[in-house]
Amino acid sequence: MAEGLFRELVKDREDYQVTSAGLGAMPGQSAAQHTADILAEKGIDLKDFKSRPLTPELVAEATHIFTMANHHLDALEEEFPEANGKAYLVSEFATEDMLRNQDVTDPFGSPRRYYDDTRWMLEKLLPTVLAYIEQTWKAEDQA
């Protein structure tokens, strides 16, 4: 869901490459049906989405890595120490105190309303992620 929403956020930007991977992801799985339905309602097509595990190559290629939960960030930095300095919690830059540094719940296997809650939270957080990238890394490129 986060990948689809962030892709939509930067869809007219050629300077962004967006992908997702999981520490425990099984390769080749489609998005959950509720996720596909929610994003389809927003005009975002996930028919070609397939899950994949995080690899050293993906970590090396990434300029930024965002995790959904604190324990994901801890596990990422433990398994891939080279991610230190470019890995963040997706809610780290939230402008609303109630969202800052909070975990985004993985609704997998839950009723649709939990997926809607996750979408709502991501829609609040992803613009702050984009702003962080624009104000820091993108600004460095222009310096």
Give 36-55 pLDDT, tens digit per residue. Answer: 999 999 999 999 999 999 99
Residue with tokens 């649709």: 112
Q: What are the tokens at 110?
A: 């839950």
Of the CA atoms within 13 Å of residue 74, those in its CB half-sphere come to: 4
Domain positions in the chain are: 2-142
Q: Each residue of 118-131: pLDDT tens digit?
A: 999 999 999 999 99
CATH class of the structural domain 2-142: alpha beta
- Model confidence, pTM: 0.93
Coil, helix or strand at residue 52: coil
Please say whether the beta carbons of 32 and 66 come within 8 A. Answer: no
